[in-house]
Amino acid sequence: MNLRGRNKVDPSFNMSSMTDIVFLLLIFFMLTSTLVTVSAIDVLLPKAGGKTENSTSIAVTITKNSFFYLDKTKVKPGNLERAILQKVGPNKKKTLVIRGDQNVAYKNVMKVIDIANRNKLKMILAVKGK
């Protein structure tokens, strides 16, 4: 009586499928790592000779003396939120550009960011290139 199995297992291991998987993972991570942008990189912004009027954005400027300006109109800090909401309108499609002086107190910039977050407005923090 023959008790041996009919199928014999080959003890050798084929590494080609393992290397294919490793190379695919390597390519995947190389491609996805190039798509990730680091927010800590400084970018030189282009300079323009003329002035462009953008009707989809509203500028909030904070001077080093803690004066708030909505576009070119001076606004009291207590009336800032109401003035921003009036300027944005009911559809809230406009973007808020926050322009703070480099010597302005951090709490003043955070006040404007807090207003934008509470009212679910899009915002941009403007910086000058080096």
**Inter-residue contact 75 to 46 (CB < 8 Å):** no
> Does residue 67 have a pLDDT over 90?
no
pLDDT for 21 equals 92
The whole-angstrom separation of Cα 19 and Cα 14 is: 10
Between 105 and 27, residue with greater pLDDT: 27
Give me the DSSP letters along 53-78: --TTEEEEEE-TT--EEETTEEE-GG
Total-model pTM: 0.54
Average pLDDT over residues 96-113: 85
pLDDT band of 2, cuts 50, 70, 90: low
Please, what is the average pLDDT of the chain? 77
For residue 22, pLDDT beyond 60: yes
User: Mean pLDDT, to the nearest integer, of 67-82?
Assistant: 87
57-125 maps to which CATH number? 3.30.420.270
Q: How confident is the model at residue 35 (pLDDT cuts 50, 70, 90)?
A: low
Q: CB pairs under 8 A, 24+ apart, for 39-46? A: 42/129, 42/130, 43/129, 44/129, 44/130, 45/127, 45/128, 45/129
Output the six-digit token pair for 108: 């003043």
The Cα diameter of the chain in Å comes to 103
Name the DSSP letter for residue 119: T
Whose tokens are 């282009």? That residue is 46
Of 129, 95, 90, 128, which is closest to residue 112 (Cα–Cα)?
95
